[in-house]
Amino acid sequence: APILLSDYRAPAWQVEQIELDFDLGIDATQVRSCLRLRRDSTQATPLCLDGEGLELLTIMLDGQLLSPDDYRYADNVLEIDHAHDGSVLETRVRLNPAANTALEGLYLSGPRESGFLLTQCEAQGFRHITFFPDQPDVLASYTVTLRADRARFPVLLAGGNPDGAGDLDGGRHWARFVDPHPKPSYLFALVAGRLEKIGREYVTADGRPVQLVIWAEADAIERCHYAMDALERSMRWDEQAYGRNYDLDVFHVVATHDFNMGAMENKGLNIFNAKYLLADPDSTTDDEYRAVEAVVAHEYFHNWSGNRVTCRDWFQLSLKEGLTVFREQQFSADMNSPALKRIEDVALLRRAQFPEDAGPLAHPVRPAEYREINNFYTATVYEKGSELVRMLAGRLGQAGFRRGMDRYFEHNDGHAATLEDFLGALGEANDIDLMPYLAWYGQAGTPRMKARGHYDAAQHSYTLTLTQHTLPTPGQAHKRALPIPVKLALFATDGRMLPLHLDGHSNALGDEHVIVLEQAEQSFVFRNIDAAPIPSLLRGFSAPVILDGDYAPTELALLLRHDIDGFNRWEAAQQLASRAYDALRDGGDTTALTAWCDALAELFDDELFADDALLADLLSPPGEIELAEREQVVDPARVHALRQELQQRLGARIGAGPLLRRYEALAAQTNRQLDASSQAQRRLKRRVLELLALIDAPAAHAVAAGQYQDAPSMTDRLAALAVLVRGNAPQATLALAHFRERYAGDPLALDKWFSVQTQLPGELTLARVQLLAGDPAFTLKNPNRVNALFGAWARSNPAGFHRADGAGYRWLVQQLRPLDALNPQVAARLATVLNGWKRLEPVRREAARSAISSLTTGPELSRNLTEIVQNILGDS
Ligand code: ARG
Ligand code: ZN
Q: What is the pLDDT of residues 519-553, one digit of tens each?
A: 999 999 999 999 999 999 999 999 999 999 989 99
pLDDT of 875 above 80: no
Instruction: Please tell me the predicted confidence (pLDDT) of residue 66.
Output: 97
Virtual torsion, Cα 205, 210, 213, 214, nearest 10 deg: -30
pLDDT of residue 588: 83
pLDDT confidence of 168, banded at 50, 70, 90? very high
Residue of 357, 329, 325 lying closest to 343 (CA atoms)? 329
Q: Apex CA 745: angle with CA 741 and CA 748, to 5°?
A: 100
Which ligand 1 atom minimizes the distance to the CA of 377? 11
Per-residue pLDDT reduced to its tens digit, 790-805: 999 999 999 999 999 9
Q: Whose CA is nearest to atom 5 of ligand 1?
A: 264
d(CA 274, CA 256): 5
Share of the chain above pLDDT 90, in %: 97
Q: Write out pLDDT tens, residues 671-716.
A: 999 999 999 999 999 999 999 999 999 999 999 999 999 999 999 9
CB atoms within 10 A of CB 9: 9
User: Average per-residue pLDDT in the chain?
Assistant: 97
261 Cβ inside 6 Å of ligand 1: yes
In short, whether 264's Cβ falls inside 6 Å of ligand 1 is yes
Give the residue whose CA is nearest to atom 7 of ligand 1. 122
pLDDT band at residue 763 using 50, 70 and 90 as cut-offs:
confident
The residue whose CB lies within 8 Å of the most ligand 1 atoms, and thus the one to mutate among 119, 261, 265, 370, is 261
The pLDDT of residue 406: 99
Measured in angstroms, how far is the CA atom of residue 721 from the centroid of ligand 1? 32
Per-residue pLDDT, averaged over 159-172, amounts to: 98
Q: pLDDT band at residue 876, thresholds of 50, 70 and 90?
A: low
Q: Is the pLDDT of residue 597 over 70?
A: yes
How many angstroms separate the alpha carbon of residue 264 from the centre of ligand 2?
7
Question: Could you tell me if the CB of 377 is within 6 A of ligand 1?
Answer: yes
Question: Does residue 726 surpass a pLDDT of 70?
Answer: yes
Helix (H) / strand (E) element for 776: namely: none
Give mean pLDDT, residues 614-636.
97
Active site residue 428: no
Residues 436-472 pLDDT 10s: 999 999 999 999 999 999 999 999 999 999 999 999 9
Q: What are phi and psi of 300, to 5 degrees?
A: -65, -45
pLDDT tens, residue by residue, 20-61: 999 999 999 999 999 999 999 888 889 999 999 999 999 999
CA distances (Å), 336 to each of 156, 275, 293, 568, in order?
Answer: 36, 20, 10, 18
- Amino acid in the structure at residue 806: G
CA angle, 818 as apex, 802 and 97 as ends, to 5°? 135
CA of 266 from ligand 1 middle (Å) equals 10
Q: Tell me how far apart the alpha carbons of residues 832 and 828 are, in angstroms, rounded to a whole number.
A: 7
Judge whether residue 110 has pLDDT over 90.
Answer: yes
Q: What is this structure's pTM?
A: 0.99
Q: Does the CA dihedral 15-16-21-26 come out positive or negative? A: positive
Marked catalytic residue, from 299, 328, 629, 690:
299
The reported pLDDT for the residue numbered 694 is 98
224 CA distance to ligand 2 middle (Å): 21
Q: Which protein residue's CA is at the shortest distance from atom 11 of ligand 1?
A: 374
Enclosing H/E stretch for 663 = helix 656-667
pLDDT at 411 > cutoff 70: yes
